[in-house]
Protein backbone atom coordinates (compact mmCIF):
# COMPACT_ATOMS: atom_id res chain seq x y z
CA UNK A 1 0.00 0.00 0.00
CA UNK A 2 1.26 3.48 -0.86
CA UNK A 3 0.89 6.01 1.96
CA UNK A 4 0.47 9.76 1.72
CA UNK A 5 3.30 11.83 3.19
CA UNK A 6 2.49 14.05 6.17
CA UNK A 7 1.13 17.51 5.40
CA UNK A 8 -1.02 20.19 6.98
CA UNK A 9 -4.45 20.59 5.37
CA UNK A 10 -6.00 24.05 5.19
CA UNK A 11 -9.56 24.65 4.03
CA UNK A 12 -10.16 28.39 3.51
CA UNK A 13 -13.62 29.72 2.61
CA UNK A 14 -12.84 32.62 0.31
CA UNK A 15 -10.58 33.19 -2.68
CA UNK A 16 -8.63 35.85 -0.76
CA UNK A 17 -7.98 33.34 2.03
CA UNK A 18 -6.77 30.80 -0.54
CA UNK A 19 -4.33 33.35 -1.97
CA UNK A 20 -3.11 34.13 1.56
CA UNK A 21 -2.71 30.42 2.41
CA UNK A 22 -0.66 29.91 -0.77
CA UNK A 23 1.92 32.36 0.57
CA UNK A 24 3.38 29.59 2.70
CA UNK A 25 6.45 28.25 0.82
CA UNK A 26 5.76 24.92 -0.90
CA UNK A 27 1.97 25.12 -0.39
CA UNK A 28 -0.09 23.36 -3.10
CA UNK A 29 -3.74 23.52 -4.11
CA UNK A 30 -6.00 20.49 -3.96
CA UNK A 31 -9.44 20.41 -5.60
CA UNK A 32 -10.78 16.87 -6.20
CA UNK A 33 -7.39 15.38 -5.32
CA UNK A 34 -7.56 12.74 -8.08
CA UNK A 35 -4.25 13.84 -9.61
CA UNK A 36 -2.27 15.40 -6.79
CA UNK A 37 -2.89 12.68 -4.17
CA UNK A 38 -1.59 9.78 -6.34
CA UNK A 39 1.42 11.98 -7.18
CA UNK A 40 2.10 12.57 -3.47
CA UNK A 41 1.85 8.82 -2.84
CA UNK A 42 4.49 8.42 -5.53
CA UNK A 43 6.59 11.06 -3.72
CA UNK A 44 6.72 13.30 -6.77
CA UNK A 45 6.26 16.28 -4.46
CA UNK A 46 6.36 16.80 -0.67
CA UNK A 47 4.34 19.93 0.08
CA UNK A 48 4.20 20.95 3.74
CA UNK A 49 0.68 22.37 3.23
CA UNK A 50 -2.25 21.46 1.02
CA UNK A 51 -4.80 24.23 0.46
CA UNK A 52 -8.19 22.70 -0.27
CA UNK A 53 -10.72 24.47 -2.50
CA UNK A 54 -13.60 22.35 -1.18
CA UNK A 55 -15.10 25.09 1.04
CA UNK A 56 -14.62 28.05 -1.29
CA UNK A 57 -17.99 29.37 -2.40
CA UNK A 58 -18.71 30.61 -5.90
CA UNK A 59 -16.34 28.35 -7.85
CA UNK A 60 -18.93 25.73 -8.84
CA UNK A 61 -21.17 27.72 -11.17
CA UNK A 62 -21.80 27.30 -14.88
CA UNK A 63 -23.24 30.58 -16.19
CA UNK A 64 -24.35 31.64 -19.65
CA UNK A 65 -23.72 35.29 -20.53
CA UNK A 66 -25.91 35.62 -23.65
CA UNK A 67 -25.07 39.30 -24.14
CA UNK A 68 -21.32 38.66 -24.26
CA UNK A 69 -21.79 35.27 -26.00
CA UNK A 70 -19.81 33.46 -23.30
CA UNK A 71 -20.11 30.46 -21.01
CA UNK A 72 -18.36 30.87 -17.66
CA UNK A 73 -17.38 27.66 -15.90
CA UNK A 74 -16.14 27.75 -12.30
CA UNK A 75 -12.89 25.93 -11.56
CA UNK A 76 -14.56 23.62 -9.03
CA UNK A 77 -17.26 22.36 -11.41
CA UNK A 78 -16.85 18.59 -11.47
CA UNK A 79 -16.21 16.73 -14.70
CA UNK A 80 -19.51 14.87 -14.31
CA UNK A 81 -21.30 18.17 -13.70
CA UNK A 82 -19.71 19.59 -16.84
CA UNK A 83 -20.43 16.56 -19.04
CA UNK A 84 -24.11 16.56 -18.01
CA UNK A 85 -24.80 20.30 -17.98
CA UNK A 86 -27.62 21.00 -20.51
CA UNK A 87 -26.03 24.22 -21.86
CA UNK A 88 -22.63 22.58 -22.26
CA UNK A 89 -24.15 19.50 -23.94
CA UNK A 90 -26.20 21.62 -26.34
CA UNK A 91 -23.79 24.43 -27.19
CA UNK A 92 -20.30 23.03 -26.54
CA UNK A 93 -20.77 19.29 -27.21
CA UNK A 94 -17.07 18.52 -27.73
CA UNK A 95 -16.34 19.86 -24.22
CA UNK A 96 -19.16 17.78 -22.69
CA UNK A 97 -17.79 14.75 -24.50
CA UNK A 98 -14.17 15.29 -23.37
CA UNK A 99 -15.24 15.77 -19.73
CA UNK A 100 -17.35 12.61 -19.94
CA UNK A 101 -14.40 10.60 -21.23
CA UNK A 102 -12.05 11.41 -18.32
CA UNK A 103 -11.09 8.38 -16.22
CA UNK A 104 -14.19 6.73 -14.66
CA UNK A 105 -17.54 7.89 -13.17
CA UNK A 106 -16.15 7.90 -9.61
CA UNK A 107 -13.14 10.00 -10.57
CA UNK A 108 -15.33 12.36 -12.60
CA UNK A 109 -17.49 12.90 -9.50
CA UNK A 110 -14.44 14.15 -7.58
CA UNK A 111 -12.25 15.60 -10.37
CA UNK A 112 -12.77 19.25 -11.28
CA UNK A 113 -12.26 21.33 -14.40
CA UNK A 114 -9.68 23.50 -12.58
CA UNK A 115 -7.74 20.36 -11.66
CA UNK A 116 -7.99 19.10 -15.23
CA UNK A 117 -6.64 22.36 -16.65
CA UNK A 118 -3.79 22.33 -14.10
CA UNK A 119 -3.21 18.57 -14.31
CA UNK A 120 0.47 17.79 -13.90
CA UNK A 121 2.31 16.47 -16.96
CA UNK A 122 2.78 12.71 -17.18
CA UNK A 123 5.58 10.40 -18.27
CA UNK A 124 6.14 6.64 -18.21
CA UNK A 125 9.43 7.24 -16.32
CA UNK A 126 8.05 9.47 -13.59
CA UNK A 127 4.47 8.39 -12.76
CA UNK A 128 5.84 5.40 -10.87
CA UNK A 129 6.66 4.62 -7.26
CA UNK A 130 9.86 6.12 -5.84
CA UNK A 131 11.17 2.52 -5.52
CA UNK A 132 10.65 2.03 -9.28
CA UNK A 133 12.40 5.32 -10.05
CA UNK A 134 15.36 4.38 -7.84
CA UNK A 135 15.64 1.09 -9.73
CA UNK A 136 16.22 2.91 -13.03
CA UNK A 137 19.05 4.94 -11.58
CA UNK A 138 17.50 7.65 -9.44
CA UNK A 139 14.78 9.42 -11.36
CA UNK A 140 15.04 12.14 -13.98
CA UNK A 141 14.85 15.92 -14.48
CA UNK A 142 11.23 15.95 -13.23
CA UNK A 143 11.97 13.95 -10.07
CA UNK A 144 15.20 13.27 -8.21
CA UNK A 145 17.63 12.96 -11.14
CA UNK A 146 19.43 15.04 -13.73
CA UNK A 147 18.79 13.20 -17.01
CA UNK A 148 15.81 12.74 -19.30
CA UNK A 149 15.16 9.11 -20.23
CA UNK A 150 12.94 10.09 -23.17
CA UNK A 151 15.41 12.51 -24.80
CA UNK A 152 18.75 11.69 -23.12
CA UNK A 153 20.57 14.50 -24.97
CA UNK A 154 17.91 17.06 -23.99
CA UNK A 155 17.96 19.50 -21.06
CA UNK A 156 14.20 20.00 -20.92
CA UNK A 157 11.51 17.66 -19.63
CA UNK A 158 9.09 16.60 -22.38
CA UNK A 159 6.47 14.93 -20.15
CA UNK A 160 3.01 15.02 -21.73
CA UNK A 161 0.01 17.22 -20.96
CA UNK A 162 -2.63 14.45 -20.78
CA UNK A 163 -5.77 16.41 -19.94
CA UNK A 164 -8.86 15.53 -21.98
CA UNK A 165 -10.53 18.93 -21.62
CA UNK A 166 -7.56 21.16 -22.44
CA UNK A 167 -7.21 20.44 -26.21
CA UNK A 168 -10.97 20.98 -26.58
CA UNK A 169 -10.95 24.22 -24.60
CA UNK A 170 -8.06 25.51 -26.73
CA UNK A 171 -9.89 24.52 -29.93
CA UNK A 172 -12.84 26.61 -28.65
CA UNK A 173 -10.59 29.65 -27.95
CA UNK A 174 -11.30 29.45 -24.20
CA UNK A 175 -9.71 31.87 -21.75
CA UNK A 176 -8.50 31.08 -18.24
CA UNK A 177 -9.06 33.42 -15.29
CA UNK A 178 -6.45 33.50 -12.52
CA UNK A 179 -6.51 35.29 -9.18
CA UNK A 180 -3.37 35.84 -7.13
CA UNK A 181 -1.46 38.31 -4.95
CA UNK A 182 -1.36 40.78 -7.88
CA UNK A 183 -5.11 40.55 -8.49
CA UNK A 184 -7.07 39.05 -11.39
CA UNK A 185 -5.81 38.32 -14.86
CA UNK A 186 -7.30 36.58 -17.87
CA UNK A 187 -5.48 35.04 -20.81
CA UNK A 188 -6.06 32.68 -23.71
CA UNK A 189 -5.77 29.14 -22.38
CA UNK A 190 -3.46 28.37 -25.29
CA UNK A 191 -0.95 30.87 -23.89
CA UNK A 192 -1.19 29.42 -20.36
CA UNK A 193 1.01 26.43 -21.25
CA UNK A 194 4.73 26.29 -21.96
CA UNK A 195 7.01 23.60 -23.34
CA UNK A 196 8.56 22.48 -20.05
CA UNK A 197 7.21 19.35 -18.39
CA UNK A 198 8.53 20.41 -14.97
CA UNK A 199 6.61 23.71 -15.08
CA UNK A 200 4.09 23.50 -17.88
CA UNK A 201 1.86 26.45 -16.97
CA UNK A 202 2.62 30.11 -16.53
CA UNK A 203 0.63 30.16 -13.28
CA UNK A 204 2.40 32.55 -10.92
CA UNK A 205 3.22 31.84 -7.26
CA UNK A 206 0.10 32.18 -5.15
CA UNK A 207 -2.29 32.15 -8.15
CA UNK A 208 -5.30 29.90 -8.58
CA UNK A 209 -7.58 29.30 -11.54
CA UNK A 210 -11.05 30.60 -10.72
CA UNK A 211 -12.89 30.06 -14.00
CA UNK A 212 -12.75 29.14 -17.66
CA UNK A 213 -14.52 31.42 -20.13
CA UNK A 214 -15.62 29.83 -23.38
CA UNK A 215 -17.05 31.74 -26.39
CA UNK A 216 -20.42 30.35 -27.50
CA UNK A 217 -20.99 29.45 -31.16
CA UNK A 218 -21.99 32.46 -33.29
CA UNK A 219 -23.23 30.38 -36.23
CA UNK A 220 -23.52 26.82 -37.52
CA UNK A 221 -20.76 24.67 -36.07
CA UNK A 222 -19.68 21.06 -35.67
CA UNK A 223 -17.09 20.08 -33.06
CA UNK A 224 -15.60 16.78 -31.96
CA UNK A 225 -13.14 15.21 -29.54
CA UNK A 226 -11.42 11.88 -30.12
CA UNK A 227 -9.17 10.12 -27.63
CA UNK A 228 -7.26 6.91 -28.16
CA UNK A 229 -6.71 4.72 -25.11
CA UNK A 230 -5.97 1.07 -24.56
CA UNK A 231 -8.78 0.52 -22.03
CA UNK A 232 -12.10 2.09 -22.87
CA UNK A 233 -13.37 2.12 -19.29
CA UNK A 234 -10.64 4.10 -17.48
CA UNK A 235 -7.51 5.55 -19.02
CA UNK A 236 -5.56 8.68 -19.79
CA UNK A 237 -5.44 9.49 -23.51
CA UNK A 238 -2.40 8.17 -25.40
CA UNK A 239 -3.17 10.63 -28.17
CA UNK A 240 -6.12 12.98 -28.53
CA UNK A 241 -7.49 15.45 -31.05
CA UNK A 242 -10.06 18.22 -30.72
CA UNK A 243 -11.74 19.56 -33.88
CA UNK A 244 -13.95 22.57 -34.58
CA UNK A 245 -15.51 23.49 -37.90
CA UNK A 246 -17.47 26.70 -38.42
CA UNK A 247 -19.87 26.18 -41.34
CA UNK A 248 -21.56 28.49 -43.84
CA UNK A 249 -24.91 26.75 -43.18
CA UNK A 250 -26.28 24.29 -40.63
CA UNK A 251 -25.78 21.06 -42.62
CA UNK A 252 -22.75 18.82 -43.09
CA UNK A 253 -22.77 19.33 -46.86
CA UNK A 254 -22.24 23.10 -46.33
CA UNK A 255 -18.80 24.64 -46.96
CA UNK A 256 -16.42 25.01 -44.03
CA UNK A 257 -15.73 28.62 -43.08
CA UNK A 258 -13.02 27.90 -40.47
CA UNK A 259 -11.29 24.68 -39.36
CA UNK A 260 -9.41 24.22 -36.08
CA UNK A 261 -7.55 21.20 -34.71
CA UNK A 262 -5.63 20.84 -31.43
CA UNK A 263 -3.68 17.73 -30.50
CA UNK A 264 -2.89 16.53 -26.96
CA UNK A 265 -0.38 14.17 -25.29
CA UNK A 266 2.62 15.16 -27.43
CA UNK A 267 4.68 17.27 -25.02
CA UNK A 268 4.02 19.63 -22.13
CA UNK A 269 1.66 21.86 -24.14
CA UNK A 270 -1.05 20.91 -26.63
CA UNK A 271 -0.30 21.61 -30.32
CA UNK A 272 -2.54 23.72 -32.53
CA UNK A 273 -2.43 22.40 -36.08
CA UNK A 274 -1.56 25.06 -38.67
CA UNK A 275 -2.31 25.44 -42.40
CA UNK A 276 -5.94 24.43 -42.08
CA UNK A 277 -6.99 27.44 -44.21
CA UNK A 278 -6.96 25.00 -47.14
CA UNK A 279 -10.05 23.35 -45.60
CA UNK A 280 -12.03 26.54 -46.22
CA UNK A 281 -14.75 26.10 -48.86
CA UNK A 282 -14.71 22.30 -48.75
CA UNK A 283 -17.85 20.57 -47.44
CA UNK A 284 -17.57 18.73 -44.12
CA UNK A 285 -18.85 15.57 -45.83
CA UNK A 286 -16.31 15.85 -48.66
CA UNK A 287 -13.78 12.99 -48.14
CA UNK A 288 -11.04 15.39 -49.31
CA UNK A 289 -11.63 17.49 -46.18
CA UNK A 290 -11.15 14.55 -43.79
CA UNK A 291 -8.04 13.51 -45.74
CA UNK A 292 -6.61 17.03 -45.57
CA UNK A 293 -7.17 17.45 -41.82
CA UNK A 294 -5.84 13.97 -41.02
CA UNK A 295 -2.72 14.57 -43.13
CA UNK A 296 -2.01 17.95 -41.52
CA UNK A 297 -2.37 16.37 -38.06
CA UNK A 298 -0.08 13.49 -39.00
CA UNK A 299 2.54 15.70 -40.64
CA UNK A 300 2.76 18.19 -37.76
CA UNK A 301 2.76 15.76 -34.80
CA UNK A 302 5.60 13.48 -33.83
CA UNK A 303 4.77 11.81 -30.51
CA UNK A 304 7.67 10.91 -28.19
CA UNK A 305 8.24 7.79 -26.09
CA UNK A 306 6.97 9.69 -23.01
CA UNK A 307 3.74 7.75 -22.40
CA UNK A 308 3.02 4.04 -23.01
CA UNK A 309 2.85 2.69 -26.57
CA UNK A 310 5.33 3.17 -29.37
CA UNK A 311 5.51 6.70 -30.72
CA UNK A 312 5.18 5.75 -34.44
CA UNK A 313 2.01 3.78 -33.65
CA UNK A 314 0.55 6.67 -31.66
CA UNK A 315 1.27 8.92 -34.65
CA UNK A 316 -0.70 6.59 -36.92
CA UNK A 317 -3.54 6.53 -34.36
CA UNK A 318 -3.73 10.32 -34.52
CA UNK A 319 -4.40 10.21 -38.25
CA UNK A 320 -6.96 7.41 -37.80
CA UNK A 321 -8.83 9.17 -34.99
CA UNK A 322 -8.90 12.54 -36.77
CA UNK A 323 -10.56 10.85 -39.76
CA UNK A 324 -12.97 8.87 -37.57
CA UNK A 325 -14.00 11.96 -35.63
CA UNK A 326 -14.93 13.75 -38.87
CA UNK A 327 -16.76 10.65 -40.16
CA UNK A 328 -18.77 10.56 -36.92
CA UNK A 329 -19.71 14.25 -37.30
CA UNK A 330 -20.89 13.60 -40.86
CA UNK A 331 -22.88 10.53 -39.76
CA UNK A 332 -24.59 12.60 -37.02
CA UNK A 333 -25.72 15.06 -39.73
C1 LIG B 1 -6.95 6.31 -12.56
C2 LIG B 1 -6.97 7.72 -13.08
C3 LIG B 1 -7.33 7.94 -14.40
C4 LIG B 1 -7.35 9.24 -14.90
N5 LIG B 1 -7.71 9.43 -16.21
C6 LIG B 1 -7.76 10.67 -16.71
C7 LIG B 1 -8.16 10.88 -18.07
O8 LIG B 1 -8.53 9.95 -18.78
N9 LIG B 1 -8.15 12.14 -18.55
C10 LIG B 1 -7.80 13.21 -17.78
O11 LIG B 1 -7.82 14.35 -18.29
N12 LIG B 1 -7.42 13.04 -16.49
C13 LIG B 1 -7.41 11.81 -15.94
N14 LIG B 1 -7.04 11.64 -14.63
C15 LIG B 1 -6.55 12.77 -13.84
C16 LIG B 1 -7.58 13.53 -13.01
O17 LIG B 1 -8.52 12.65 -12.44
C18 LIG B 1 -8.34 14.59 -13.78
O19 LIG B 1 -7.47 15.30 -14.63
C20 LIG B 1 -9.08 15.58 -12.86
O21 LIG B 1 -9.78 16.52 -13.65
C22 LIG B 1 -8.17 16.33 -11.93
O23 LIG B 1 -8.99 17.21 -11.18
P24 LIG B 1 -8.88 17.29 -9.57
O25 LIG B 1 -9.86 18.31 -9.16
O26 LIG B 1 -8.99 15.95 -8.96
O27 LIG B 1 -7.38 17.83 -9.46
P28 LIG B 1 -6.41 17.79 -8.19
O29 LIG B 1 -5.79 16.46 -8.09
O30 LIG B 1 -7.07 18.35 -7.00
O31 LIG B 1 -5.33 18.84 -8.71
C32 LIG B 1 -4.58 18.60 -9.89
C33 LIG B 1 -3.53 19.70 -10.04
O34 LIG B 1 -4.17 20.94 -10.33
C35 LIG B 1 -3.89 21.91 -9.29
N36 LIG B 1 -5.14 22.62 -9.12
C37 LIG B 1 -6.35 22.10 -8.78
N38 LIG B 1 -7.29 23.05 -8.82
C39 LIG B 1 -6.65 24.19 -9.16
C40 LIG B 1 -7.10 25.54 -9.37
N41 LIG B 1 -8.38 25.90 -9.24
N42 LIG B 1 -6.16 26.46 -9.72
C43 LIG B 1 -4.87 26.12 -9.90
N44 LIG B 1 -4.40 24.86 -9.71
C45 LIG B 1 -5.29 23.92 -9.37
C46 LIG B 1 -3.43 21.10 -8.08
O47 LIG B 1 -2.55 21.85 -7.29
C48 LIG B 1 -2.73 19.93 -8.76
O49 LIG B 1 -1.43 20.30 -9.16
C50 LIG B 1 -7.02 10.35 -14.08
C51 LIG B 1 -6.68 10.11 -12.73
C52 LIG B 1 -6.66 8.82 -12.25
C53 LIG B 1 -6.31 8.60 -10.80
S1 LIG C 1 10.26 13.50 -20.14
FE2 LIG C 1 12.29 13.03 -19.35
S3 LIG C 1 12.61 14.46 -17.64
FE4 LIG C 1 10.44 14.49 -18.15
S5 LIG C 1 9.50 13.04 -16.75
FE6 LIG C 1 9.97 11.91 -18.63
S7 LIG C 1 12.02 11.07 -18.34
FE8 LIG C 1 11.69 12.62 -16.76
**Which ligand 1 atom is nearest residue 107's CA?**
17
DSSP H helices in 136-199: 165-171
Q: Is the pLDDT of residue 137 over 90?
A: no
In a domain, 314, yes or no: yes
In a domain, 321, yes or no: yes
pLDDT of residue 232: 83
pLDDT in tens, 49-66: 999 999 999 999 999 999
Ligand 2 pocket test target in 127, 138, 150, 266 with most atoms within 8 Å of CB: 150
In a domain, 288, yes or no: yes
Domain count, the chain: 1
Give residue 285's domain range.
221-332
Q: Whose CA is nearest to atom 8 of ligand 2?
A: 140
Q: What is the mean pLDDT of the chain?
A: 97
In a domain, 140, yes or no: no
| 155 C-alpha to ligand 2 centroid (Å) | 10
Neighbours of 139 (CB within 10 A): 21
Q: What is the CATH number of the domain that holds 312?
A: 3.30.390.50
Pocket of ligand 2 (CB under 6 A): 123, 125-126, 140-142, 148-150, 157-159, 197, 306
pLDDT of residue 158: 98
In a domain, 319, yes or no: yes
In a domain, 245, yes or no: yes
In a domain, 293, yes or no: yes
Neighbours of 64 (CB within 10 A): 14
Q: Which residues contact 80 (CB under 8 A, 6 or more apart)?
A: 99, 100, 105, 108, 109
Which ligand sits closest to the CA of 127? 2
pLDDT in tens, 79-88: 999 999 999 9
Average pLDDT for 229-239 = 92
Read off the pTM.
0.98
In a domain, 292, yes or no: yes
Cα separation, 312 vs 188, in Å, equals 31
Pocket of ligand 1 (CB under 6 A): 28-36, 38, 53, 75, 79, 102-103, 107, 110-112, 114-116, 118-120, 163-164, 208-209, 234-236
Amino acid sequence: MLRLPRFELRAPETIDEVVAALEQPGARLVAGGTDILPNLKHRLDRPPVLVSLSRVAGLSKVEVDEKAGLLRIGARVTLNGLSEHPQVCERLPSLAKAAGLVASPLIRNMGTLGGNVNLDTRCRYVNQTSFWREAIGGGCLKSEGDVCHVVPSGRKCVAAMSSDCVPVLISLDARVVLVGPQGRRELLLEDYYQADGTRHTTRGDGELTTELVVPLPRGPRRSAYAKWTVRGSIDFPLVSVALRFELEEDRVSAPVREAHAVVGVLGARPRRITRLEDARGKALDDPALAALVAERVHAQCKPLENVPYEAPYRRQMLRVHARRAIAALVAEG
